[in-house]
Amino acid sequence: MGQSHERKAMTKISSTSLGRRTFLSDMGMGFTGLALGSLLAEEASAQGERSGIPHRVPKAKSVIWLFMAGGVSHMEGFDPKPELNRYGGKTLADTSLKDVYSDPFVQENFRPFIGDNERSFRKKIFPLQIGHRKRGESGAEVSDWWPHVGECVDDIAVVRSMWTTDNDHGAQLQFHTGRHISDGYFPTIGSWVHYGLGTLNENLPQFVVMGNPIGECCGGTQVHLANYLGAEHDGVMLSASDPLPFGKPAGLVYRQEQAANFDLVRRLNGLTAVEYPEDAAVRARIKSYELGFRMQMSVPDIFDTKSETQQTLDSYGDGFGRQLLAARRFVERGVRFVQVYHGGGGAGSWDAHTNLKTNHERNCKAVDKPIATLLKDLKQRGLLDETLVVWATEFGRTPGSEGETGRDHHPFGFSCWLAGGGIKRGVVHGATDELGILAVENRHYVTDIHATVLHQLGLDSRALEVPGRKRLDIDHGHPIHDIIA
Amino acid sequence: MMKQTLMVLCIMFFSTVDLPAESRVDYRTEVKPLLKTKCFACHSALKQKLKLRLDAASLILKGSRRGPVIVAGNASESLLIQKITATDLSQRMPPEGEGEPLSADQITLLKRWIDQGARMPDEAIPSAPTEHWSFQQPVRTFIASSGNPIDYFLTEQLAPLGIQPVEAADRAVLLRRITFDLTGLPPTRSQLKAFLSDDSPRAYERVVDQLLARPEYGERWGRHWMDVWRYSDWAGFGKEIRYSQKHIWRWRDWIVDSLNADKGYDQMIVEMLAADERYPGDEDKLRATGFLARNWYKFDRNVWLDDVIEHTGKAFLGMTFKCARCHDHKYDPISQSEYYQLRTIFEPYDVRTDRVPGQVDVDKDGLARIFDARPDALTYLFQRGDPKLFDKQQPQNPDVPDVLGGTFQIEPVVLQLEDYYPAIRDFVTRDLLMKADDSLAAAEEALLKVRTTSDAENPDHVIILTEKKRDLAQARREEVKARIEAEQAKYRRSDVSDLPDDEQLASQASRLEKQATVAEADVALASAKSQLQQALVAAQETPGDKTSKAVDASKAKVKTAEERLVKATESAAQESTSYQTLGPLYPPSSTGRRLALAKWIIDPGNSLTARVAANHIWLRHFGRALVEQVDDFGLRTTQPVLIKLLDYLAIELMEKNWSMKHLHRLIVTSRAYRMSSSVPLGNTPAREKDRDNTLFWRQNSRRMEAEAVRDAILYVSASLERRMGGPEVDHMQGMTVPRRSLYFRHARERQMEFLRLFDAANPRECYDRDESIRPQQVFALINSPLTLAQSRKLAGRLTEQLKSIKQPLDNFGDDGFVRAAFETVLSRSPVTSELDECRRFLTLQARQLGDTEKLDLLGETSNSVAADSDPHQRARENLILVLFNHNDFVTLR
């Protein structure tokens, strides 16, 4: 899906918000500076520029958004379904839910990316591939593939009634934009937060992305871009192994010498911005230079873990864990939105069409302990209250089997969970039917998670709307008040 | 959504007073969704089995070829109900295997609906997919206007909206735009001056002609088409090739050469898909088949062929065939079996590497090309795309999708000897002999050397070994010569009529080949003996467990070598006529399927090919395509507003021998292309009615492609090496080797970091580049080895030039420097405010650098070009670096 043209056009034309920092005053640019300043102020008011001040009192300052690509089984995760064992090997027709797929909910909302209507209607019941138990004081049931996150269940609010419309991995994009991939590309949740909130640390990008990037098929980089909100609200992808290519001058350069160079770049680009007032790109570039200048020092520091104890390092582990540690260090320093992918690339590594057991065992092993470590670490440091952690995946997996050992894509009911940031602790919200097929109680489309996140950050997505870019009710979603403390 | 549904249901419940016993069935919310899931796949606009369509009320009433399918008010008389309830599986709908039967509730619902009178609102009939705009022939619109037709078509759309196109761009801006657009490089200062002072009415047209004639044109547009055609150098793990092929750069050079020669686009397609069938002996054209060789994938032939089908469709036809791999295409009228018919065209092909003159080792150099390796290979339809599920009884036939029309005619191709046995070509046999000669000469030389040095240094066993090696080289030369003679006699009898008969030559070749094997075994034995001698000496000098074990091991090796020699000698004594060929023999014919496909694609009757190409070219001149989804002209893509323009360009392309240069000239000489990209402030109608500039009332400013950014840095600094073509350069050398960017290795995980940061093409797929603005780009420009070194070089050069022309020293020559710097780097003069800023900067920076004790060093590495020791000159170097970081350096306005 190469709708980048649309994006490019946006970059070129839409008057994007310039942000709150009055960089012109820093420029000391005399008359030209004044001209540019008034021009931008005029534009800002015309565009309803964001002040960066929340619409209501925020409960959370930052978000850590963990996304498992490929589709995690809900029945073998946070929504165990023992009934599957009872009917194992039988078909749907043998159960009380034999007509479940004729439910108007399915007929109305199901929008397969491919024309294969059978794929999500697997009929042969596949028993659970792992045990489960009640955990914590709340007694929420969690599978034994998630022992460490299970220990934290009293800090978590599980939502068991998620639904989406795409039965293919374009749902990865959908989970972040709220729109089916066939509709094209739209701003992502992280970019809305970036757009809506002021910065708490001018030395770091406010929307950071880490992990294996999402595959081209499923949205690619569009899963963390800002689309019509403008390039300055894009997620900045940082790799732990090489966070800042060319981060230091390749030659003997003095700090003050480089600072003077940055200053002249800013002055000259400022003059160009006055010359081309309609050019959003030049403004975005000016901002990227401002941020870049400051990132030179601050980003390498994030990934430099010398100050962490060995115990912390061991507990997080390498790979995914090291990214979560960096995520904590980012929010500690005031970064607003940290999006971490696990298993990105291709359809996603959780996509267990065959051998679900080995697949999920392996993947859970890679993420369970690091995620639990993150939750405990945030809590211990008193950061969990102001940091909203979201764990999500694009859809669940079919209660029926695919082949002998796998489960297919399942958009009609699946789980995700939230923790911290003013979310209720130790609650389970919503439910699927007894086989895990349909979300039947308190259904939530993916944008309800967006709305909840924005609500906790003190934002109202309806107030963020950009003139000329109409959003539908379903694009905004509704905060899940039942899980808000 | 759920809420809405519930509400509708509630209203129905309470409002159907006349039907208290059972509610009235609603067509829109209940019947239609059911028909959609169960019946539309075969009975709608997409397909009309038995001419039945169920996707609009009037069509449901019309029925099928067999007559009406519903009798309003009487469900049991209705054929539709009879079909969905049939117990005979051959009669039931949906048919076995194509869909689950309807549930009891669903059947009841339809029955009730029909019994209640089958009420339906009037509905628009969805149009048939065959009527989709892009499947119709392009239509030429004849126009009376004498100007450039492009402007006519744009004005036609803009005028009714009251939108005035903006003014022409400033001439300096225009020159930079056109020079980058056609060559990927900026104009030089002298070109800028010459253009600005040329008042003649055709000054611009002359520049265009000159630029199109430059070889850099092929490099610039070569890279564009490399995006679309998915250029990728080989990639893999260590030395293991997993993707693409070695030496694929020859295809890149073919692209550049073809564009520079203005080879027709139709011809290029034929050569890329089927040069081996159309021009089997033409090595120059065979390079083109890199397009298919590039899809080579070590681990999965299905993935490989899926890629071929997907990207042949997207690149040439703007069709997304891939969706039909697992099921009939959801949007386009492409059935699953048509997908596998397409695959049948490619099923026989594989990749091979032919030798090139001067190199017999194809690992070091060669021509990666395609050929039909398995002309008889069968293709099966994989149910649900699963390669394990297919019906062996039903192989597919090669064919193209029906909906695209045209004739697809296959003629098998008989190949010449040299095509299927490339090693027999004269240059190969010459190279083989020359290599054997060289080896022999080297062996003789080595022998001479050991014989003429002292005995102490060369004990007997070493001399014997060296003699044996010489003998082996001799034997190798003999057997190569004999095999060549025998093979030539066998395949080219007429050429060699006065030579001994085949049989005799064959047995001689066989004998000499075996003798070479004996000589080889002899060398192995002499080598083992030599090692034994050394081991014995060592054991004598330092007795012990270790050395005595080495003696035992050497003895064992001698024994093995002796046995091997005995075997080889025995074998050599036997009469035989068999020997190794000079290289691989391939099938002597090709299926002709790919050539048929290529001819079908370029047939003027194909409504897509020229449109797709013209659209790509337009995109790269305007930064926005006429059909925005450049790789999908299928049903999801609605007819572009500027369809007349697109069709005009497509027809021009076809009628002018598919000349791309003609199309470029037509586009860039339009008034539209020459417009300014900036908009005056204020609410003009344009801003209100076409804010996104979809109708091209102004140019678009564009972020330059990665390659253009890097090449321009090298070019303005006079560092760019102009040598064209050749093997790919190591991507890790991008900061120091001053070749153009397209010559560097570009493959998955093997691409230049600098280019990647500026959105270089994803080698897997890139029909339209991204234009991101990221903080990481800042570092690539302000810190990288490339920009630091080149800014220092350029500053030095400009200062030297200023000295030589003895300009009046305004402001210590700084003003002249700033002007020269702006004109060289940004292709325009500085305005006063810019001049002021730069002056001030030079003064302050020089002052600051004059007292380095107060400064902290930031960089840790040194650069190949050191900063000047004079603070003033160093300030100038910094100014150039700043201009490389200027927004307008990476922007085409």
Burial class (CB in 10 A: 0-12, 13-18, 19+), B611: buried
pLDDT, residue B499, reads 59
- pLDDT, greater one: B475 or A345: B475
Check A8 against B771: CB less than 8 A apart. yes
A215-219, A461-465, B18-22, range with the lowest pLDDT? B18-22
CA dihedral B733, B737, B738, B743 (to 10 degrees): -60
pLDDT reported for residue B49: 84
Q: Within 13 Å of residue B412, how many CA atoms lie on the same side as its CB? A: 10
Tokens standing for residue B584 = 């691989």
Q: Is the preceding peptide bond at A187 cis, omega within 30 degrees of 0?
A: no
Cα separation, B324 vs B307, in Å, equals 13
**Contact call for A261 and B762, based on CB within 8 A:** no
- Dist. CA B447–CA A82, nearest whole Å: 83
Of A6, A249, A278, Cβ closest to residue B783: A249
- Cα separation, B317 vs B314, in Å, equals 6
Chain B positions touching A281 (Cβ under 8 A) are 701, 703, 773, 887, 891
Contact A135, A355 (CB under 8 A): no
Using CB atoms, pick whichever of A115, A216, A474 lies closest to residue B41: A115
Interface residue A404 vs chain B (CB under 8 A)? no
Q: Is residue A300 within 8 Å of A326, Cβ to Cβ?
A: no
pLDDT value at residue A183:
76
Q: How many CA atoms lie within 13 A of A230 on its CB side?
A: 24
- Cα distances (Å, whole numbers) of residue B59 to A216, B25, B51, B485: 40, 19, 10, 76
Q: Which portions of chain B are predicted below pLDDT 50? A: 1-21
**Chain A partners of B679 at a C-beta cutoff of 8 Å?**
278
User: What amino acid occupies position B554?
Assistant: S
B702 strand-pairing partners: B892
Query: At CA B752, angle to CA B749 and CA B757, rounded to 5?
Result: 95
Write down the H helix ranges in B574-608. 593-602
B785 touches chain A (CB under 8 A): yes
Which of the four pLDDT bands, split at 50, 70 and 90, describes residue A15? very low
What gap in Å lies between CA A135 and CA A443, rounded to an integer? 24
What is the Cα B248 distance to its own chain's centre? 11
Of A171, A178, A179, A159, residue with least CA distance to A442: A159
Q: Which of A173-187, A285-299, B17-31, B474-488 has the lowest mean pLDDT?
A: B17-31
The C-alpha angle A89, A95, A101, rounded to 5 degrees, equals: 100
Q: Give percent helix, percent strand, percent coil of chain B, each to the nearest 5.
A: 55, 5, 40
**Shortest CA distance from A403: residue in chain B:** B386
Which residues touch B258 (CB under 8 Å, ≥6 apart)? Answer: B218, B268, B271, B288
Q: What is the largest CA-CA distance in chain A?
A: 80
Count H helices, E strands: chain B?
Answer: 34, 8
Q: Where are the domains of chain B?
A: 2-127, 244-420+589-605, 425-572, 783-892
Q: Report the pLDDT averaged over residues A455-470.
A: 88
Of B772, B750, B748, B769, residue with least CA distance to B760: B769
Cα separation values, A277 from A18, A35, B164, Å:
12, 10, 19
In sign, the C-alpha dihedral spanning A438, A442, A446, A447 is: positive
- Residues in chain A within 8 Å Cβ distance of B327: 114-116
The CA distance from B813 to B15, in Å, is 90
In 3D space, the residue among A437, A378, A340 whose CA is nearest the CA of residue A102 turns out to be A437
Provide the pLDDT for residue B16: 39
Q: Packing angle between helix B609-622 and helix B265-278, nearest 10 degrees?
A: 130
More confident residue, B725 or A120: B725
B377-B382-B387-B388 Cα dihedral, nearest 10 degrees = -110
Distance from CA of A326 to the nearest CA of B (A): 18
pLDDT, average across residues A108-135: 78
Residue B731 forms contact with A (CB below 8 Å): no
Nearest to B783 among A104, A250, A269 (CB): A250
How high is the pLDDT of residue B401?
Answer: 94
Q: Is the torsion defined by CA of A178, A181, A187, A190 positive or negative?
A: positive
What burial letters (b/e) apply to A442-454, b meaning 16+ CB within 10 Å? ebbbbbbbbbbbb
pLDDT, position A119: 62
Angle at B27 between CA B25 and CA B30, to 5 degrees: 70
Residue A42: predicted pLDDT? 45
Per-residue confidence band for A25, with pLDDT thresholds at 50, 70 and 90: very low
Instruction: State whether B779 and A245 contact (CB < 8 Å).
Output: yes
Q: Contact B692/A13, CB-based, under 8 Å? A: yes
Q: What is the largest CA-CA distance in chain B?
A: 122
In angstroms, the CA B423 to CA B484 distance is: 10
What is residue A132's predicted lDDT score, i.e. its pLDDT?
96
What SS3 class is residue A339? Answer: strand
B 598-617 → A contacts, CB under 8 A: none
Give the residue from A325, A473, A428, A244 showing the smallest Cα distance to B780: A244
State how far residue B502 is from chain A, nearest Cα, in angstroms.
57
Is residue A234 very low, low, confident or very high in pLDDT (cuts 50, 70, 90)? confident
- Judged by a CB distance cut-off of 8 A, whether residue A106 touches chain B is no
Q: What are the tens digits of pLDDT across the range B763-773?
A: 888 999 988 88
B158-to-A434, B142, B144, B151, B152 alpha-carbon distances in Å: 60, 19, 18, 10, 10
